Amino acid sequence: MKTIRFLCSVILLLTLYSCNYFKSDHPQAALPGEEGATGMTDKSILNYSATIDRTLSNYKKQFSLIYLSGDLSVYAEKYSTYGDGKLYKTYTANGSISNSVKSYYFKNDSLILVKEQDKIMNEGVEVYKNIRSYLRNNVTFKMDSRTASSGEALSKLPYLLIQPAENKYPEEDYAGDIKSMDDAIAGTDKFEMVFDNITTYPDAHYIFLKSKGPSNYKASLLVNTRDAFIDSLLNYPAVFKDEKLSLRWTIKDKEAIYVPVDSTSTSASGLKR
What tens-digit pLDDT sequence spans the chain (273 residues)? 444 443 344 333 333 333 333 232 323 223 334 456 778 999 999 999 999 999 999 999 999 999 999 999 999 999 998 778 899 999 999 998 999 999 999 998 999 999 999 999 988 899 999 999 999 998 999 999 999 999 999 999 999 999 998 889 999 999 999 999 999 999 999 999 999 999 988 888 999 999 998 889 999 999 999 999 999 999 999 999 999 999 999 999 999 999 998 754 433 334 332
CA-nearest of 182, 204, 203 to 191 is: 182
Instruction: Give me the pLDDT at residue 6, please.
Output: 39
Q: CB neighbours (10 Å) of residue 267? A: 14
Name the DSSP class of 82: S
Strand, coil or helix: what is 178?
helix
Q: What is the pLDDT of residue 39?
A: 82
Q: Where are the alpha helices (DSSP H) in the chain?
A: 2-25, 42-54, 151-155, 174-186, 228-235, 237-240
- The alpha carbon of residue 16 and the mean position of all alpha carbons in its chain are separated, in whole angstroms, by 42
